Amino acid sequence: MIILVLVVAIVGYAVYPYIVSTKIDQLHDGATVYVYGKVTSSRFAFANISLFQVSDNTGSVYVAWDGALPATGAQVLIHWEVESILGATYIKADSVTVWYF
């Protein structure tokens, strides 16, 4: 029984980001979303503000948040709001979680 619970927990953890995330090419201004992707470029971290780029198989988007800069190559699950400034779309994140699957 414990083995079954562990298997279900591991599978649930592995598929969760795919179930809740929005593809980058489907983002629109004002939407509150989850995005799952790979950190492809870390721009800077200054005064507790980080800016980095995340990509999935449909495109890439910049993410701004008040936390540590994730490592380039890390898989992350991001949550919060899509915004645009001067035609550039970015995510203003309230959480960035490194995902290990």
State the first-to-last Cα distance of the chain, in angstroms, to the nearest integer: 24
> How far is the CA of 88 from the CAs of 1, 2, 29, 37, 82, in angstroms?
50, 49, 10, 19, 10
Q: Mind listing the domains of the chain with CATH numbers?
A: 2-98 (2.40.50.140)
Q: Quick one: pLDDT at residue 88?
A: 87
Over residues 12-51, the pLDDT tens digits come to: 988 999 899 999 999 999 999 999 999 999 887 788 889 9
77: nearest Cα among 92, 54, 98, 52: 98
Q: What is the mean pLDDT of residues 83-87?
A: 90
With cut-offs at 50, 70 and 90, classify the pLDDT of residue 68: confident
Q: What's the pLDDT at 43?
A: 81
30 phi/psi in degrees, rounded to 5: 90, -10
Mean pLDDT of 61-84: 94
pTM above 0.75, yes or no: yes
